[in-house]
Amino acid sequence: MQLLDGKLLSDEILSELKTEVDNIRQKNGKIPHLAAVLVGEDGASITYVNSKVKNCEKVGFKSSLIKKDATITEEELLEIIQKLNQDTDIDGFIVQLPLPKHISEKVITDAISPDKDVDGFHPFNVGKLALGLDTYVSATPNGVMEMLKRYKIQTEGKNCVVLGRSNIVGSPMSMLMSKSSRSEVISKNGYSADATVTVCHSKTKNLQEITSKADILIVAIGQQEFVTADMVKEGAIVVDVGLHRLIDETKKSGYRLVGDVKFDEVAPKTSYITPVPGGVGLMTICSLLMNTLKASKNK
Ligand code: NAP
């Protein structure tokens, strides 16, 4: 078993991005600028946004954090988005999800200009991905593709099972893995795809029978330690997107993180597996920064 080490890769990618930003600065070019909008006081969202901002600083990007109370109205949030759409210094921005119940995530996502949508959630960018065109791909699935690329994992003709079909992870993940290597989004980014993909969800029957045939199993179902050893084929590659905070008084932070996969019992059966933490999460942030650099260059 070998770990797919998100920390190692993210250090490598952040260092590459920093070198690129240093070159831009030397040529007096435009420094990429990412803005993040955070609504409310959700602990996990605060951690994610802070980490995004911190990593922007690490690579020399400009970053802006806009914090708003959970009582903000949809109209007020839309006004902020319009300002960010029009701000010529900002290359890309994200609105951290989830949003309070009185605000429609769809309305907000749709209001972000597609050329600043570095999270890749806008229907225009999702549509481009569906057509195999290069675009801002949703950060988490893009991070997984980048991880498989950097570990030189061949996916062509492999049975890939994606557990979960959400708009931000499962669906774009299955689209990417099933694309032809000739498609723009795969060839331009040097990814390996061409897998035979099965998508599973909450209505899937005989889940264990399907997952245990997977050469590559990508899990994004939001169910803590759901995937057990009997669901995994010997020698499979397992990518765990799940992220759950469990209260743990023995930790300084007061919690520990686990994924959607029962790591201890699954890992020995695999050829490669992502740890949690230290796996996909770090790749997600890198992917967001890579999208921001792309947005800045596209200008
Ligand atoms: P989501 O929107 O809740 O979607 C979960 C998907 O899993 C749905 O398609 C659902 O099916 C399916 N599902 C749920 N329970 C299932 C079951 N028992 N059997 C089979 N399928 C089941 O979640 P998400 O946003 O995709 O996130 C998934 C996980 O990844 C979460 O733990 C989240 O915290 C984590 N995440 C991590 C990162 C990162 O950077 N590491 C980024 C994003 C998300 P239906 O469609 O039928 O409801």
Domain boundaries, the chain: 28-113, 138-281
Provide the β-strand partners of residue 153: none
Residue 2 Cα to ligand 1 middle (Å):
25
100-137 as b/e: b if 16+ CB within 10 A: beebeeeebbebbebbbbbbbbbeebbebbeebeebbb
Residue with the nearest Cα to atom 4 of ligand 1?
Answer: 166
To the nearest whole number, what is the mean pLDDT of the chain? 97
**Ligand 1 close to Cβ of residue 144 (< 6 A):** no
How confident is the model at residue 131, as a pLDDT? Answer: 98
Q: What does the pLDDT look like over 119-161, one tens digit per residue? A: 999 999 999 999 999 999 999 999 999 999 999 999 999 999 9
State yes or no: pLDDT of 5 exceeds 90. Answer: yes
Q: Which atom of ligand 1 is nearest to the CA of 276?
A: 41
Q: Check pocket membership of 200 for ligand 1, CB cut-off 6 A.
A: yes
Please determine, for residue 216, whether its predicted confidence score (pLDDT) is greater than 90. Answer: yes
Pick the CATH number of 28-113 from 1.10.760.10, 3.30.565.10, 3.40.50.2020, 3.40.50.10860: 3.40.50.10860
CB-based contact 24:63 (threshold 8 Å): no
Tokens of 268: 């020995």
User: How far apart are the CA of 87 and the centre of ligand 1, in A?
Assistant: 34
pLDDT on residue 299: 80
The CATH code that applies to domain 138-281 is 3.40.50.720
Amino acid identity of 128? K
Q: Are 222 and 44 in contact (CB under 8 A)?
A: no
Crossing angle between the packed helical segments 170-178 and 139-150, to the nearest 10 degrees: 40
Rounded to 5°, angle at Cα 78 from 76 and 82: 120
73-126 tens-digit pLDDT: 999 999 999 999 999 999 999 999 999 999 999 999 999 999 999 999 999 999
| Identical fold, 28-113 and 138-281 | yes
Q: How far is the CA of 269 from the centre of ligand 1 (A)?
A: 23
Residues with catalytic roles: 52, 96, 119
Using a 6 Å cutoff on CB, does residue 279 contact ligand 1? no
Which position has the higher pLDDT, 254 or 127?
A: 127
pTM, to two decimals: 0.96
Q: Is the pLDDT of residue 44 over 90?
A: no
Q: Ligand 1: distance of its center to the CA of 243 in Å?
A: 10
